[in-house]
């Protein structure tokens, strides 16, 4: 083989490898559909949890939110809703944990700070209640009206 033929063989092998790599990153249409279906399932769990919470069925609402959390993993919205529902159930320690977890994923949610403030106020910890209330107001001035 000549040097030119060796170079052409090498270039062909390189491009064949790059095409192979690209094909490996493509998603199967069934996988894409599974992902869309999973997102829809999560939305259904969240909606169901919201409806149950509004009816005062906190344990069932928590079960629906936990399903969403399991399906999606850590998510600020779901963690906040779990915390909020636990607070309504007077499970303040657990609610605080979920609110704090939600802030790890979205530290710009003034309502999480406000709910934490409310819990500390109920627990007679005015110092922490004021701290979290001020954080909420810093993020959204309209919180003062709530």
* Within a domain: 17: no
Which tens digit of pLDDT belongs to each residue from 50-99? 999 999 999 999 999 999 998 877 889 999 999 999 999 999 999 999 99
Which tens digit of pLDDT belongs to each residue from 4-29? 777 777 777 776 767 767 666 665 55
Contact call for residues 128 and 108 (beta carbons, < 8 A): no
What is the per-residue pLDDT for 32? 45
The secondary structure element, H or E, covering residue 81 is: helix 76-88
* Within a domain: 4: no
Q: Which residues contact 131 (CB under 8 A, 6 or more apart)?
A: 117
Q: 118: closest CA among 99, 132, 98?
A: 132
- Structurally, how many domains does the chain consist of? 1
pTM comes to: 0.72
Distance between CA atoms of 116 and 1, rounded to whole angstroms? 75
CATH of the domain at 128: 1.25.40.10
* Within a domain: 10: no
Does residue 13 or residue 101 have the better pLDDT?
101
| Domain containing residue 110 | 31-140
* Within a domain: 50: yes
């Amino acid at each position: 083989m000549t040097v030119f033929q060796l170079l052409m063989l090498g270039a062909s092998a390189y491009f064949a490898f790059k095409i192979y790599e690209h094909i490996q990153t493509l998603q199967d249409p069934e996988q894409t559909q599974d992902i869309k279906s999973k997102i829809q399932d999560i939305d259904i769990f969240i909606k169901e949890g919201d409806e149950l919470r509004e009816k005062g069925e906190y344990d069932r609402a928590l079960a629906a939110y936990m399903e969403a959390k399991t399906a999606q993993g850590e998510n600020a919205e779901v963690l906040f809703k779990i915390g909020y529902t636990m607070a309504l159930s007077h499970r303040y320690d657990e609610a605080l944990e979920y609110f704090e977890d939600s802030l790890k994923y979205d530290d710009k949610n003034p309502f999480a700070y406000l709910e934490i403030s409310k819990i500390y106020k109920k627990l007679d910890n005015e110092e922490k209640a004021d701290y979290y209330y001020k954080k909420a107001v810093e993020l959204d001035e309209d919180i003062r009206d709530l």
